[in-house]
A and B are shown apart, each in its own frame.
Chain A
């Protein structure tokens, strides 16, 4: 079946603009995660959803970042007043169930560039 898909694959925006990044998890996966990967670094956890609710948003760097998953499937990561330091690849992952028993399947990411 289809894997995790993310759109757009690339997003270029100007400093101060608002962006939305979309994630379509694997069908039936209840857990969804967002990570951010800066150049030459490993992915860094941002937020985790179990169903519709954000179970853990401790990785969001500040209040400019927000994510939703209103129907328990598709999720959108929203970044307000973008800054150049937000430039990174934003990865989404999903798992059948939360926790260490559920392998996290990653999407290809959205490369965000803030000019």
Chain B
């Protein structure tokens, strides 16, 4: 059974870069066939796709966030990461990592981690 677990600081100051990591267990990122995804949810709002990465390192990003995003993968540790630069209060959200088939079908999700942007 594939499991994903997000980890991050919980609190980030405005204008800083937020960094989150997703650790995958029960399956290898290196084996391919799936896209490793980040999705966020603002308090009381709907789902917002951030982007995903394939094991080869190919990335796809939400066009509205692209200029501030970096998603990377480390197959040696079976982790993938998200960096969002120049954060504002609008980036306060629960961030989920997930395994996606590439077309928006994500069967496995992390439990989510709340990231608050505040000074």
Chains A and B belong together in one complex: no
B: which residues have CB within 8 A of A?
none
